[in-house]
């Protein structure tokens, strides 16, 4: 739109707002260990999705990052978050994960895709 404005109007284009390029964002994945590897237990499903809702709400309220997607692997449910600062996202998420089942962990990537990940056991 700035190009058209300059072309027809002669006004200088506005400078784009500074932001982190989507491919340079950090990521934090919360991996919650499941007691039922097939994830068919209703009670475990409700508890896991309630936790996901709390984590998403906290992340939205903090502005530290955004929810990206969730993932189901055998014996683990993953919730992926992305933002400009992994440590800020960890500070939001970790207090809500104090009662996570043993074997749950955070997979933290401080940089663009391809950067090595750090595992933080909960």
Asked if residue 87 belongs to a domain, the reply is: yes
Confidence check: pLDDT of 5 > 70? no
pLDDT of residue 24: 80
Its domain, for residue 51, covers 23-121
**23-82 pLDDT, tens digit each:** 789 999 999 999 998 899 999 999 999 999 999 999 999 999 999 999 999 899 999 999
Mean pLDDT of 101-122: 96
CA–CA separation, 30 and 38 (whole Å) = 18
Asked if residue 40 belongs to a domain, the reply is: yes
CATH number, domain containing residue 46 = 3.30.70.1230
Asked if residue 114 belongs to a domain, the reply is: yes
- At 5, give phi and psi (nearest 5°): -60, -45
**Structural domains of the chain, count:** 1
Q: How many CB atoms lie within 10 A of CB 105?
A: 18
**51-65 pLDDT, tens digit each:** 999 999 999 999 999
∠ CA(37), CA(94), CA(41), 5° rounding? 20
Asked if residue 5 belongs to a domain, the reply is: no
Asked if residue 11 belongs to a domain, the reply is: no
Q: Reduced to 3 states, what is the DSSP secondary structure of residue 106?
A: strand
């Amino acid at each position: 739109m700035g190009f058209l404005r300059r072309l027809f109007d002669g006004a200088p284009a506005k400078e784009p707002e500074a932001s982190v390029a989507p491919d340079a964002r950090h990521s934090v994945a919360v991996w919650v260990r499941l007691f039922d590897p097939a994830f068919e237990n209703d009670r475990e499903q409700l508890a896991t999705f309630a936790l996901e809702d709390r984590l998403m709400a906290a992340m939205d309220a903090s502005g530290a990052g955004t929810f990206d997607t969730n993932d189901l692997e055998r014996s683990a449910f993953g919730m992926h978050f992305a933002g400009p600062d992994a440590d800020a996202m960890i500070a939001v998420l970790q207090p809500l994960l104090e009662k996570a089942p043993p074997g749950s962990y955070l997979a933290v990537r401080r940089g663009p895709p391809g950067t090595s990940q750090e595992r933080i056991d909960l």
